[in-house]
Amino acid sequence: MTSSISRQLILWLAIPLMLLALCGALVHYFNSVAPGVISSDRRLKEAANALMAHVLIQNGQVTLDTGGGADGQPPLPAPDSIKFALRDSQGHLLAGDAQLPVVPMNASNPQLLAMAQIDHRSLRTLTTRFDTRTGVIIITVADVRAINEPAARYGLMSTLLWDFVQLDITLVLVWIGIQLGLRPVKRLRNEIAERSPLDLRPIMESSVPREIAPVVVTLNRLFTMLRTAVQSQQQFIANTAHQLRTPLTGMQAQLDILIGEPAAQPVKTRLLTLQESVRRLAHSSNQLLSLARADPAANIATKNQPVVLSAIVGEVVAKFFDRALQANLDLGIEVEPVSVVADPSLLDDLLSNLVDNALKYTPPGGRVTVRAGKRNGAPYLAVEDTGPGIAETERQRVRQRFYRLPNSPGHGSGLGLAIVDEIAHLYGATMTIGPGANGQGTQILLQFP
C-alpha cells in the first residue's frame, strides 16, 4: 500500500502542534491561577496574624477583641473578604463562622492550606496553629475573594477549544499549501502517466523542482538506455532479415533457372520439392521476423506517423493480385478515406498476413474482400473471405503462435494471426474473428481506438 506525502506531512505537523497547543493552554491556565493563589495565600496569612493579634486571654478564657485595637495593632479583616473561625485544641468554636471546617493540627505542621466548600463555593482556606500560655488556639481563615477554580477550569477548556480551532485552521492552510507545493510533482506524474509506453522522449529537467530533479535525471538516463537497447534490437532484426532474405531469394532464383534446364529434367521432381522447401523457409523466416518486429519491446523507439489505410490496402492488394488470379479468386477492396497513427511497415505486415491467410484458405472461385473505413466513428480494417470459416471454438486458439487449424491445407507455420494480434495489441486495436456475409467464410475485423 502506497503512502501519501501529503498525509505524512499533515501527521508530522499535527502531533507536535497538538502537543504545543496543550502546553500553551496549561501554561495559560497556571499563569491565570498562580497569581491569584499567591495573592490569596498572602491575604490569608495576614488575616490569620491580625486575628491572633486581637486574641485576648483573661482568667484562662479566650476572647476576640473586635474593637479598633491599640496603636500598631493590625486591623481585623473585613467580613466581606475574609471568613474566620477560632477553635481550641478540641475543635470547639471560640469565635467566628461555624461553617469553616475543623482541621486537625499537630505541632510538626503549624500551617495547612486547603480548599473547602462553603455556601456552595470553593474557597481557599488557611489553618494556623498558635501555642499560648493557656493552650493551643487554631485559627482557620477563608478568602471569600479567592480565585474561583471552576471558572479557571472553564477558562482552561475555552482556551483549549480555541487553540484546537486554530490548530484545525492551521492544518487546513498547511494542507492547501502542501497541495499547491506538490503541483509540480503531480504535473510530472500526469505527464508520465499520459505517455504511451512507446514514448521515451526525455523529460524536461528545467520544468521540475530542484528536490525531484535527481529523479527526473535518473528517469531520463533509463529512457536513454532503453532507446539504445531497442535500437540495437531493431538493428539486429534488420540485419537478420537482410542476411536471411538475400541468400534465400538467390537460392530460389537459382532453383527456378535450374528447373528449366534440360539436364535437370531427370531430377526435376526433387528440385521442385527443394524449391517448395526453400519457399516455405523464406516464408517462415519472414513471418518470424515480422513477429519479432511486432513485439512491443522492439517498437518502443518506433516513430509512428499518420498512415492512410486506403493506401496501405492498395499496396497490399497489388502484391497479391497475381496470386489471386492464378488461384481463380476475386480479390477486391472497399475503402473510405481514413487514417491511423502507426508504423506503415507494421500495418503492411498485418494486412499482408490477413490477405495471405484468406487467399490460402479460400477455394477457387471464391471471393476475398479487403475493407477500410470508419465504424462507430473509429477507423477499422477488415478482411472477409468465402472460405470454410473458423469454428467458434477455434477462434481464440488461432491467435496463438504456431497453432494451425486441423486439416489445414499447405504447410503454414501458424504465425499469421499471431502476428496480426501482436500488431493490433501494439496499437490498442481489437481483433474480432467472426463469420462473413450470410454466415459464410470468415471476417477478421480490426477496430482501432
What pLDDT is attached to residue 170? Answer: 82
What pLDDT is attached to residue 120? Answer: 74
What pLDDT is attached to residue 418? Answer: 78
Q: Model pTM greater than 0.75?
A: no
Query: What DSSP string runs through 153-220?
Result: HHHHHHHHHHHHHHHHHHHHHHHHHHHHHTHHHHHHHHHHHHS-TT--PPP-GGGS-TTTHHHHHHHH
Place of cell 483573661: 58
Q: How far is CA 206 from CA 32, 196, 361, in A?
A: 56, 22, 58
Q: What digits encode the pLDDT tens for the residues 398-446?
A: 777 666 666 666 555 666 777 788 788 877 888 888 888 777 888 888 8
What pLDDT is attached to residue 29? Answer: 67
What pLDDT is attached to residue 11? Answer: 80
Please give the average per-residue pLDDT across 174-181, as a whole number: 82
Computed over every residue of the chain, the mean pLDDT equals 78
Q: What digits encode the pLDDT tens for the residues 236-251?
A: 766 666 667 677 777 7
8 A C-beta contact, residue 342 and residue 379: no
What pLDDT is attached to residue 402? Answer: 63
Q: At what angle do helices 344-361 and 416-426 cross, to 10 degrees?
A: 150
- % helix, strand, coil for the chain, step of 5: 55, 20, 25
Helices within 362-439 (DSSP H only): 416-426
Residue 127 has pLDDT above 60, yes or no: yes
Residue 441 CA neighbour count, 13 Å, CB half: 21
**Which amino acid does the sequence have at 55?**
V
Domains and CATH numbers, the chain: 5-151 (3.30.450), 216-303 (1.10.287), 304-447 (3.30.565.10)
Three-class DSSP labels, 296-326 = HHHHCCCCCEEEEHHHHHHHHHHHHHHHHHH
Alpha-carbon Rg for the chain in angstroms: 51
Q: What digits encode the pLDDT tens for the residues 345-366?
A: 888 888 888 888 888 888 888 8
Please give the average per-residue pLDDT across 178-199, as a whole number: 78
Residue 148 has pLDDT above 60, yes or no: no
How many residues belong to the chain? 449
Local structure of 64: helix, strand or coil: strand
Determine whether 402 is exposed, middle or buried from the number of CB atoms within 10 Å of its CB (0-12, 13-18, 19+). Answer: exposed
Q: Which residue has the higher pLDDT, 291 or 220?
A: 220
Distance CA 99, CA 248 (A): 123
What pLDDT is attached to residue 265? Answer: 81
Q: What digits encode the pLDDT tens for the residues 324-353?
A: 888 898 888 888 888 888 888 888 888 888
